[in-house]
Structure 1
């Protein structure tokens, strides 16, 4: 008999934690999970899934107008925020049930409680119960970062945005990353007046400069206002419930809601990790090696809490690799090279590999190919919005080292193209592929 209550105790039932739990259990491990919020984690409950459903809803604003150019007699339509919000939250609840069912089917014990680490092989639940485990996995994800300034308590984050009682007529969104730009597009399509406030002078750091400049241009054309180099000074709540947003270097803005989207930090506060000897970095992330093992041999971590790449599919890969390595006898290391990413803005962005600047710094000699075009649908609909595809090629080897796209369905197209970049295919390989016509994707094999 084991000296421990469980072979594995997982803190956090998000994407990484659930994958690690069920795979470890399938190998015969006795597994328990503690989740203080809702099973499913950030992605399912308050992240990519409900956000993508709002993105779908927002697209109808333009689609309904464009349909008239395609022969459909579409009357002026009214948008009902309450109906969409409630339908999205109902879908989230359905998915939460499926995640819980998956854990139940694999005989994983779920504690609906906060858990903290009190030793290398022991955790404590909120009710004081202590549980021992041979190994502990930290999978608590990240949490929205809200800078401290007077009135910051009046702002919401991506956690609360899905529960708004009513659609704000005017919303200020702080930040320049993917969350800020995605929700700017969503609320703008729903009819809100959107202002993005950025303390710096660049949106979407880490993405190719031409692509992010194109999004900025299109967003401004759609009516989104941008305030750069404008840190928050304060937020005041007026008697009528509106908010006065005071910024450096520009006039105050009156809004009905303020959303802080200035990044996410590893969710390790109060978990007891440092007391247990687990090393954290300056941002609070759990330091792990390539096997996901922390400085304490019995404690591991996967997902956003490690602050490596904050993407749900990466957390799932890490959870799988952990379970395969530790309980399946199949040592596995996650490959972080050429991980594709997307921004579900309006229009969306897809990217994989090096940007032009990164490639020049690392490789020196490169070739770039671009296609700047209007999608066929936009032409007939009378929209001047243009897509931009960009390919980065190592001049010495002809290998495609980066693909960057902005335009309709860019993430859907990029997923397949990312396989080619990951496989190390060359520009000649793309050129040798017959185009699929008429499609937007064909531009990838016609770049000159």
Structure 2
């Protein structure tokens, strides 16, 4: 066997790359990981974690309103954006430091710089020269996609820049209807920013259950977010007062900030993948098999760069499965079925399994639906109008629960537990045999007995 500088070289120190490199190094393997930005990747530095802090901050406006309804005398609050940013950045730096220490404690060598494959065993890192490795793992994640040909696009920002705005805008226009667009819409709206979402589709949150999609849109609009569907931004112009985003339908929207959240693309360009013979899909993702192996037998890829399920916990599990297979002699794959997801909109979403439409297609229409819409107990007390939604999609034959969808307070917390049951193949009778915890929102999940009849043709649900 040829001699190499490293047993494993990992490109990208995000969640998947860090987990794989640590586990591999703990076997005594010589491992290095290259990172061109900060250790922690999208999730820790410019994604899930700072976004959740911003969600928390923005929710306080509603908390203050609720407090008054419960008898608290709350003075008119004021939000300090620079103070929040400083606290947020300090916490992100602390978390990134933990990732660095964990790598060092496991014996992983951290190399700061952009890495590119020169061939199947050789990696060049900017400022550090070239090294060789027996095995190479690509874990570079994804990046926001921007329509570069759009007139005035240079005046727009992505989610990356939204975490570091010097001042809170008075008006923002957000292009996109996915979870990132809607999460930031809720954040800015909650912080008092006049917020408009522009989405070319007929509804937001494509890929989620249709009842979830319409419910979230209605609730967000009720809280003040303006959602314009069926059009898209055709151009951006800078003016003395700020920016003007002109939509394809001719409508002009004035804003201080225009943010594009039209999805993310695999961060796979300029990595030398072609030089090493690594195949990519039409979307630019790295093609892999069930063991995350690429078309080159000593190169693997995990996480968003493979464009399978683009979630941090999935990248971690894929990275762990790679390490188990290649360094522990324990062939392991990650099962991408029944992976729960959360959307931190306001109200938040928790979802696992099939949507109603997907279930009908997969099971020839032979499914039952259980659906409840209601105002949670906390809302009814003080006259709040926010509604929750809970939905179960059930296979008629065998009564296995195919999908569980929740919109409302603590939905992401609730769906984690529901995902365990669905992963185990729980049936509706087993689900119903579970005693409710009262008084909670989640108890509605196990008290729905009446099947929901879809509206007749020509009627609106």
Q: 1:206 is paired with a residue of what secondary structure?
A: coil
Q: 2:32 is paired with a residue of what secondary structure?
A: strand
Residue 215 of structure 1 corresponds to 216
Residue 138 of structure 2 corresponds to 138
Distance 2:371 2:231 in 1: 33
Distance 2:31 2:52 in 1: 32
* 2:375–2:388 Cα contact (<8 Å) kept: yes
Unmatched runs of 5 consecutive residues or more in structure 2: 450-461
Which residues of 2 match residues 318-357 of structure 1 at below 5 A?
Answer: 318-357=318-357
Q: 1:274 is paired with a residue of what secondary structure?
A: helix
Distance 2:226 2:163 in 1: 22
Distance 2:415 2:172 in 1: 31
| Matched residue count | 447
Residue 452 of structure 2 corresponds to none
Q: Cα offset for 1:128?
A: 5.7
Residue 169 of structure 1 corresponds to 170
Distance 2:382 2:22 in 1: 48
Q: 1:32 is paired with a residue of what secondary structure?
A: strand
Residue 253 of structure 1 corresponds to 253
* 1:230–1:250 Cα contact (<8 Å) kept: no
Residue deviations 1:162-195 (CA, integer Å, cap 9, x gap): 1000111000000000000000001001000111
Residue 418 of structure 1 corresponds to 419
Q: 1:337 is paired with a residue of what secondary structure?
A: coil
Distance 2:272 2:401 in 1: 45
Residue 229 of structure 2 corresponds to 228
Which residues of 2 match residues 19-418 of structure 1 at below 5 A?
Answer: 19-127=19-127, 129-148=129-148, 149-240=150-241, 242-364=242-364, 365-418=366-419
Q: Does the C-alpha gap of structure 1 residues 250 and 218 become closer, same or farther in structure 2, counting only changes over 3 Å?
A: farther
Residue deviations 1:26-62 (CA, integer Å, cap 9, x gap): 1221100000000000000000000001111111110
Distance 1:85 1:289 in 2: 41
Distance 1:239 1:58 in 2: 29
Distance 1:8 1:262 in 2: 35
* 1:280–1:287 Cα contact (<8 Å) kept: yes
Residue deviations 1:214-270 (CA, integer Å, cap 9, x gap): 111111111111122222221111134x01111111321110001110000000111
Normalised to the residue count of structure 2, the TM-score between the two structures is 0.96
Distance 2:330 2:63 in 1: 48
Distance 2:16 2:35 in 1: 13
Distance 1:74 1:231 in 2: 40
Distance 2:398 2:23 in 1: 40
Q: Cα offset for 1:70?
A: 1.5
Residue deviations 1:277-312 (CA, integer Å, cap 9, x gap): 100111111000011110111110000000001000
Q: Cα offset for 1:68?
A: 1.3
Q: 1:111 is paired with a residue of what secondary structure?
A: strand
Q: 1:150 is paired with a residue of what secondary structure?
A: coil
Q: 1:383 is paired with a residue of what secondary structure?
A: coil
Distance 1:128 1:324 in 2: 29
* 2:26–2:107 Cα contact (<8 Å) kept: no
Residue deviations 1:299-344 (CA, integer Å, cap 9, x gap): 1000000000100000000000000000011110100110000110
* Residue 430 (1) aligns with residue 431 (2): yes
Q: 2:101 is paired with a residue of what secondary structure?
A: helix
Distance 2:250 2:100 in 1: 48
Distance 1:321 1:438 in 2: 40
Distance 2:383 2:2 in 1: 70
Normalised to the residue count of structure 1, the TM-score between the two structures is 0.98
Distance 1:250 1:186 in 2: 27
Distance 2:444 2:369 in 1: 14
Q: 2:346 is paired with a residue of what secondary structure?
A: coil
Q: Cα offset for 1:100?
A: 0.2
Q: Does the C-alpha gap of structure 1 residues 433 and 128 become closer, same or farther in structure 2, counting only changes over 3 Å?
A: closer
Residue deviations 1:101-122 (CA, integer Å, cap 9, x gap): 0000001000011110001001
Q: Cα offset for 1:381?
A: 2.6
Q: 2:163 is paired with a residue of what secondary structure?
A: helix
* 1:435–1:442 Cα contact (<8 Å) kept: yes
Q: 1:401 is paired with a residue of what secondary structure?
A: strand
Distance 1:282 1:38 in 2: 29
Distance 2:130 2:306 in 1: 25
Q: 2:325 is paired with a residue of what secondary structure?
A: helix
